[in-house]
């Protein structure tokens, strides 16, 4: 699954990944961001995700754009053994796209175009 982060340059975009636990045991995952631009993505609620039995939870992923080029990373959710069960390892592709550029400031200056 690919999660797309679309926004303006130098802004923070937050997306949620919804995880469901259909089993009767609690699942615990360790979330890790890997890849070329993993430093531009973050997990503000920490990297441990606990999902109660027969429940669902959301994981917030933040992206702050620094460059015009598209950023790419992978969100890995690796299960920790709790109560004798393991959940499946989950992977999500994270990609960004800059759609808008806001100027930080506007400077007006006058200068001759040509001098002898």
Mean pLDDT of 23-46: 92
pLDDT confidence bin for 1, thresholds 50/70/90: confident
Q: Which of 103, 12, 2 is nearest to 65 (CA)?
A: 12
Mean pLDDT of 49-64: 93
Instruction: Tell me which of 85 and 97 has the higher pLDDT.
Output: 97
By percentage, how much of the chain surpasses pLDDT 70? 97
pLDDT confidence bin for 77, thresholds 50/70/90: very high
* Contact between residue 93 and residue 1 where contact means Cβ atoms under 8 Å apart: yes
Question: Any idea where the domains of the chain sit in the sequence?
Answer: 2-100
What would be the CATH architecture of the domain defined by 2-100? Answer: Sandwich (2.60)
Chain position carrying tokens 């992923």? 61
pLDDT of residue 85: 66
Mean pLDDT of 92-113: 88
């Amino acid at each position: 699954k690919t999660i797309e982060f679309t926004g303006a340059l130098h802004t923070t975009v937050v997306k949620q990944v919804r995880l469901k636990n259909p089993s009767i045991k609690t699942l615990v995952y360790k979330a890790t961001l890997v890849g070329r631009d993993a430093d531009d993505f973050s997990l503000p609620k920490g990297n441990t995700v606990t999902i109660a039995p027969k429940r669902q939870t959301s994981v917030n992923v933040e992206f702050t754009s620094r460059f015009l080029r598209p950023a790419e990373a992978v969100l890995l959710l690796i299960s920790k053994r709790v109560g004798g069960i393991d959940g499946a390892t989950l992977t999500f592709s994270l990609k960004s796209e800059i759609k808008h550029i806001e100027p930080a400031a506007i400077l007006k200056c006058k200068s001759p175009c040509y001098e002898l």
